Amino acid sequence: MREGPAMTTDAPSLPAKRKSMSLIDHIYDPRSRGIILQVLLAVALIWFTAEIVNNAITNLKKQSIASGFDFLGRTSGFDISQSLISYSNTMTYARAFWVGLLNTLLVAGLGIVLATIIGFIVGIGRLSTNWIIAKLASVYVEVLRNIPPLLMLFAIYFAVLKSLPAPRDSIELPFYSYLNVRGLTVPMPTWLDGIGYVVAAFFIAIVAAVLIARWARIRQEATGERFPGVLVGIGLVVLAPLLTFLLAGRPVSFEYPTPGRFNLSGGVTMLPEFVALLTGLTLYTAAFIAEIVRSGILGVSKGQKEAAAALGLRPGQSMRLVVIPQALRIIIPPLTNQYLNLTKNSSLAVAIGYPDLVSVFAGTVLNQTNQAIEVILITMAVYLVVSLLTSFFMNWFNSRMALVER
Amino acid sequence: MSTNTNVAEQEVRRPPAGAGPVAWLHKNLFSSIPNTILTFVGLWISYKLIAGVVDWAIIRAVFTGSDGDACKVPDVGACWPFITHKFDLFIYGRYPEAEIWRANLTFLLGAIGLAGLMIPAVPGKPAFAVFTLLVYPIIAYYLLTGGIFGMPIVATERWGGLLVTLVVAVVGIVASFPIAILLALGRRSKLPIVRYSSIGFIEFVRGVPLITMLFMASVMLPLFLPEGVTFDKLLRALIGVALFSGAYLAEVIRGGLQAIPRGQIEAGDALGLSYPQKMGLIVLPQALKLVIPGIVNSFIALFKDTSLVLIIGLFDLLGIVQQSISSDPKWFSPSTPTTGYVFAGFIFWIFCFGMSRYSQMIERRLSAGDKR
Amino acid sequence: MTSRLRTGLLAVTMLAVGASAASAQATLQKVRDKGELTCGVNTGLAGFSAPDDKGNWTGLDVDVCRAVAAAIFKDPAKVKFVPLTAKERFTALQSGEIDVLSRNTTWTMSRDTSAGMSFTGVTYYDGQGFMVKKSLGLKSAKELSGASVCVQTGTTTELNVADYFRKNKMDYKPVVFEKLPETLAAYNAGRCDVYTSDASQLYATRLTLGDPAEHVVLPDVISKEPLGPAVRQGDAQWGNIVRWVFFALVNAEELGVTAKNIDEMAQGQNPEIKRLLGKEGEFGKGIGLDVDWGYQAIKSVGNYGEMFERNVGEGSRLKIARGQNALWTDGGLQYAPPVR
């Protein structure tokens, strides 16, 4: 492929001429031209960057605007409504950053799981032979994916707020839980001595489940006998910690929420902002995932299903063992994009008051410190890293899936 | 991007249903016991949905009144007078009343251009393309901002509502097109610096949320410029949107470029064509045609994303609806917010749904050609 | 083609940027060249800066800019208003997008020293307060322990409320929003017990709630919020213009000069008035303006008292009492150095 300006159409560039090349020859030679262009581009890019940096530094200095990353160590002075790690307004901006980041990861992680589940259900529903179910599923998809997610969030948030009662008229739920306009409050567990055994049992069970699954596969390949490895594994992972928990004398105590003057005090509260954001992101992304799943399943050739039927596989087996593994190969790349979109869309939290990274860091911290450049750069870098990590993971998963082919 | 699969194809593949509606019902709704249960669940959900909408939008709704008090009745549904009284505001923002014809003319010309470009049966595609992509933006710019032919200048801070939504979306897509083509070609270039700078830019933009790009445009960009150089706020948002959508569109176009067989380029080489000639005359026309559905999908995504500009203080359709809901005491009533959001959602939905249908139609046409 | 076009584009951009970079200059000259003043205001806050039905900006902050424009151009209409969110306002000023920031901005030390801007005066003495539903039956903010508090981000408000609760050993649950509409909507939907903001803003926003009588503003004021216009650091002359135009408005009230009687007063014998209105001395020269700068400013928007009454006081729907914003002669804080 050649690179170069348009005026050189009539000048065939022959490498034979290479012996003694004048300047003119260099201009007409595609290789030299490529190099010249690249050098020009590199110079321009460097100059452009330098100019920006220079301008920014000049502007900041001239107007004595503070700069640098020292601000991260300063006391934040503001509070955050939801935090997975301990946080108070006497801690640093850096701590506030981590609180925001964890909140973003929490909502994105849960959203990805839920959106995948709903998306698969709706996607398969669109292919249902039941006319009404197929129509309902397509109405869901066509309505939700054609509305801006921001608008959905507003609508869901205010609908959630409207439909829930004031704290004084909280709906009482089982297990000393309460539901009101301030969120869902459940008792907060405090772990006592002995919980370590339960955690250990949990991990041992997982390892055992993996080993059993491997053994079951090897045995099936060798003898053809099937063993319900998955079922046993799940049972093990659930039962082993539960039994240990009971044997260790239930090493947990609960802090129960009690009604206070304004709010319930004590317990753990799931904020309505969190619920609204999670619901909005999940429903919106699920509509796209449904379409991906549908086209993935349609993309598996019909002969595969017929071949499976000819081998005597039941419809469920043929779906699970033949169609889905092949469909996954079509589904995974676009699914990755949807996961990334969901993570990025979680930044819309800023509009409905959920304290995610953008709201806490690119919002409050930026405003308190006035250091727009540093704060926005850090925020963008974080999203980039999260996106790249997700991409890497999904690519790895995809390559594993692709290998299954042979 | 390629989530629109072929509906018609799927229907064709289905075996023909038996004769008559009874057979159809049996086959599609009551073929087995689980299926019958599903059918009843589905019927119940449909009933709830339809009855809820009709009840809210018509039966319990208020249709007349001159302020929010008219909607302060118990158990009220939609508050439609809020929409009818504020309609102009929602569509044009605070665009001066005497000048609204200019906004209307802009809408009309845009609609004609797009119709000519998009409806396959209309002849003269190249002329329409030149008009819509090159001439129209210039006309629209002068029509909306004014300052020539005695038209008074209308500052961008008076624009609002659907007008801003459309301006951001249309400028975003038109401006992102050249950016996207350059980036897509750059990413496939053999020159490493060109390639890596393209990849770097595309992956960077695709890795961050639009909202951070907008924040960058609104609070960082001004500090990057030399002292005394400033941009209009709307323009800055447009730059952010165009760069953002350029990176996404570049990936769509790259998909098209990859689908063009190497032989096409080699044929161009054999004819002694230069790189721009090969790309402009052979590769791009084929590649772009292939990815029209993808381009339309990008446009839908962009159109929905325009609502984010409200976070940086511009008043697009959603922004102005929201502003009216919360800062106009005259219209305050319990059902005003829901009515406003439903209205905005409906407008967005009509545009996006229309476009997605269009892209599906194009996809069918293209694949029909491939199938012979 | 790619790289060539790109380098070309870059070069053009660089040229354009380079050419205009050379023209950085004094703000007054820049404003004169543009033919209008660019003024950053709130995106919508009743009484301070809000567009009316016809899209014209009105309010106290807006009038300050009109007065400055009148002093420079003898025409209060030569202002372009740029609505700004809390987050954008400082960058907009720093970068030169606006010439004056008149957007209910609190004068604090860090903003005055390390944010590239200088405050020129206090147009409104405010303080942070709390608004609650009347039905809660609260008498004081000290009873707010355990409450959920709705607050808008990007303001000193967020820090003050944290300080206040910490100081009084109370806990609270913050709910933070980016913009005013969402903050209010959430308060209104019962998401919070309390909405906290500058008192002026509480009065202004209370009007937009369903039934204003259902909400009360608690008497506690937990912070000092001197609101005033700000300019870029490093242009003393421009800072003086904005500062003295406002002082002229305050002095006018003290001397009894109003938009209506100004021509009469200018004919009078009071030397203080004569100096203020440019009939004696050449005080405008010192700030690069014509001698009648004060006359033009007062003529266009009235004196400070008139401005206050019209936008936020008894003449408006907000009906805020003068309180601390009364003249020093009436026991308030508004005090302007003399023109002499």
Residues paired with C235 in a beta bridge: none
Is pLDDT of A228 > 60?
yes
* A275 and A353 together in one domain: yes
Instruction: Tell me what pLDDT residue A259 has.
Output: 77
What are the angstrom distances between the C-alpha of B108 and each of A340, B111, B112, B114, B167? 37, 5, 6, 10, 13
Same domain for A299 and A391, yes or no, is yes
Residue limits of CATH 3.40.190.10 in chain C: 27-125+227-330, 128-223
**Residue A312 sits in the same domain as residue A324:** yes
Determine what percent of chain C falls in helix, strand and coil, rounding each to the nearest 5: 45, 20, 40
So what's the pLDDT on residue B183? 92
B198 touching A (Cβ < 8 Å) = no
- CATH of residue A376's domain is 1.10.3720.10
Residue that terminates a domain, selected from A255, A283, A308? A255
Contact residues for A247 (Cβ-Cβ < 8 A; gap 6+)? A197
A211 touches chain B (CB under 8 A): no
Task: Give me the pLDDT at residue A26, please.
Answer: 66
Q: Are residues A176 and A37 in the same domain?
A: no
Average pLDDT over residues A26-49: 82
Instruction: Write out chain B residues lying below 8 Å of C88, CB-based.
Output: 218-219, 312-313
Give the model's pLDDT for residue A364: 86
Residues on chain B touching A55 (C-beta within 8 angstroms): 223-227
In Å, how far is C199's CA from the nearest CA of chain B? 17
**CA atoms of A343 and A348, how far apart (whole Å):** 10
Distance from CA of C92 to the nearest CA of A (A): 12
Q: Which of residues 40-59 of A touch B (CB under 8 A)?
A: 41-42, 45, 52, 55-56, 58-59
Specify whether A289 is located in the same domain as A243.
Answer: no
Cβ(C249)–Cβ(C307) below 8 Å: yes
3-state secondary structure of B65: coil
Indicate the helix (H) or strand (E) that contains C150.
strand C148-152
Q: Do C14 and A364 touch (CB under 8 A)?
A: no
CA separation for the pair A381, B207 (Å, rounded): 9
User: Are residues C209 and B220, on separate chains, in Cβ contact within 8 Å?
Assistant: no
Mean pLDDT lowest among A77-86, A397-406, B62-71, B165-174 = A397-406
pLDDT of residue A282: 95
- Domain ranges within chain B, ordered by starting residue: 80-95+154-371, 96-153
Distance from CA of B198 to the nearest CA of C (A): 10
Half-sphere exposure (Cβ direction) of C55: Cα atoms closer than 13 Å? 19
**Residue A296: what pLDDT?**
87
Beta strands at A268-270 and A183-186: parallel, antiparallel or unpaired: antiparallel
Of the listed ranges A136-150, B273-287, B321-335, C194-208, the one predicted with least confidence: B321-335
DSSP secondary structure letters along B212-241: HHHHIIIIIHHHHSPTT----HHHHHHHHH
The B residues from 340 to 369 touching A (CB cutoff 8 Å) are 341-342, 344-345, 348-349, 352-353, 356
Q: How many domains, chain A? A: 3
How sure is the predictor about A406, in pLDDT bands with cuts at 50, 70 and 90? very low
- Among A356, A380, A382, A392, the strongest candidate for a mutation testing the B interface, having the largest count of B CBs within 10 A, is A380
* Interchain pair A350, B211: CB under 8 A: yes
Among the listed residues C116, C110, C92, C114, the one whose alpha carbon sits nearest the alpha carbon of residue C102: C92
Is the separation of the CB atoms in B78 and B62 below 8 Å? yes
> What's the average model confidence in pLDDT over C143-162?
86
Whose CA is closest to C2, among B313, A40, A106, A331?
A40
The predicted structure's pLDDT at residue A405: 46
Q: Is the pLDDT confidence value at C24 over 50?
A: no
Confidence (pLDDT) at B326: 67
Which chain A residues are closer than 8 Å to B215 by Cβ? 358, 362, 372, 376, 379
Query: Which of A52-61, B82-91, C204-213 bottoms out in mean pLDDT, i.e. has the lowest?
Result: C204-213
Q: Identity (one letter) of the amino acid at A331?
A: I
Nearest one of A208, A191, A197, A209 to A241, comparing CA atoms? A197
Q: Could you tell me the pLDDT band of residue A133, with boundaries at 50, 70 and 90? A: confident
**φ, ψ dihedrals at B298, nearest 5°:** -60, -40
| Domain identity same for A396 and A342 | yes
Judged by CB atoms within 8 Å, which residues 286-305 of A form the interface with C?
none
Residue A370 distance to chain C (closest CA, Å): 7
Q: Is residue A21 part of a domain?
A: yes
In this predicted structure, the answer to whether residue C60 has a pLDDT above a threshold of 90 is yes
Smallest Cα distance from C185 to chain A, Å: 8
Whether residue C2 is predicted with pLDDT greater than 70 in this model: the reply is no
Q: Residues A349, A354, A355, A356: is their CA dihedral positive or negative?
A: negative
**Measured distance CA(B161)–CA(B309) in Å, rounded:** 11
User: For strand C79-84 and strand C57-58, is the pairing parallel, antiparallel, or unpaired?
Assistant: unpaired
Q: Are residues A34 and A45 in the same domain?
A: yes
Q: Residue C309: what pLDDT?
A: 93
Res. A379 pLDDT band, cuts 50 70 90: very high
Q: Is residue A84 part of a domain?
A: no
Phi, psi of C204 (to 5 degrees): -65, -45
State mean pLDDT over C35-51.
Answer: 85
C9 touches chain A (CB under 8 A): no
CA proximity to C140, closest of C149, C150, C132, C151: C132
Interface list for C 244-303 with A (CB within 8 A):
none
- Judged by CB atoms closer than 8 Å, whether chains meet at C85 and B332 is answered as no
Contact between residue B256 and residue B287 where contact means Cβ atoms under 8 Å apart = yes
Chain B residues lying within 8 Å of C209, measured CB to CB = 329, 332
Query: Rounded distance, CA C81 to CA C64, Å?
Result: 12
- Whether residue B118 lies within 8 A of chain C, CB to CB, comes out as no
pLDDT of residue C53: 62
Q: Cβ of C173 and A350 within 8 Å?
A: no
Mean local confidence (pLDDT), C34-53: 84
Question: pLDDT digit string (tens) for C239-298?
Answer: 999 999 999 999 999 999 999 999 999 888 899 999 999 888 888 888 899 999 999 999
Residue of C87, C179, C182 with shortest CB distance to A366: C87
* pLDDT recorded at residue C254: 94
Spatial contact of A398 and B218, defined as CB atoms under 8 Å apart: no
Contact C91, B218 (CB under 8 A): yes
Query: Is the domain of A131 the same as that of A238?
Result: no
How far apart CA C286 and CA C240 sit, in angstroms, is 9
Q: Which residue has the higher pLDDT, C333 or A56?
A: C333
| pLDDT by 10-residue block (mean), chain B, 372 residues | 45 56 76 80 88 86 79 80 84 82 86 81 79 83 80 78 89 88 88 88 90 85 76 84 90 84 85 84 82 84 87 83 72 78 91 87 70 44
The alpha carbon of residue B41 is apart from the nearest alpha carbon of chain A, in Å, by: 9
ipTM tops 0.85: no
Architecture of domain C128-223: 3-Layer(aba) Sandwich (3.40)
> In A, which residues are within 8 Å of C232 by CB distance?
63
pLDDT category of residue A384 using cuts at 50, 70 and 90:
very high
* Structure letter (DSSP) for residue C45: B
Together in a domain, A277 and A392: yes
The span from the CA of A106 to the CA of A278, in Å, is 10
CA distance A370 to chain B (A): 10
Quote the minimal CA–CA distance from C204 to chain A in Å: 22
pLDDT score recorded for residue C25: 60
Q: Note the pLDDT of residue C22.
A: 33
Cβ contacts of residue C83 below 8 Å, gap of 6+? B157, B313, C40, C41, C42, C43, C44, C49
Q: Residue A3 — pLDDT band, cuts 50, 70, 90?
A: very low
> Range of A237's domain?
188-255
> Is domain B80-95+154-371 in CATH 1.10.760.10, yes or no?
no
Angstrom distance (rounded) from CA C224 to CA A368 = 17
Whether residues A178 and A209 share a domain: the answer is no
Please tell me whether residues A286 and A397 are part of one structural domain: yes
Query: Over 70: is that where the pLDDT of C235 sits?
Result: yes
- Interface contact C95, partner A, CB < 8 A: yes
Torsion angle defined by CA atoms of residues C19, C21, C24 and C29, in that order, rounded to the nearest 10 degrees: 40
Percentage of residues in chain A with pLDDT exceeding 90?
A: 20
H-helix or E-strand spanning residue A186: strand A183-186
Amino acid at A42: A
- SS3 breakdown of chain A: % helix, strand, coil, rounded to 5? 70, 5, 25
Fold of C27-125+227-330: D-Maltodextrin-Binding Protein; domain 2 (3.40.190)
Examine the fold and report which residue of A62, A84, A108 is the final residue of a domain before the chain moves on: A62
Residue of A7, A367, A371, A374 best to disrupt the C interface, most CBs of C under 10 A: A367
Substitution target in B326, B330, B331 with the highest count of C β-carbons within 10 Å is B326
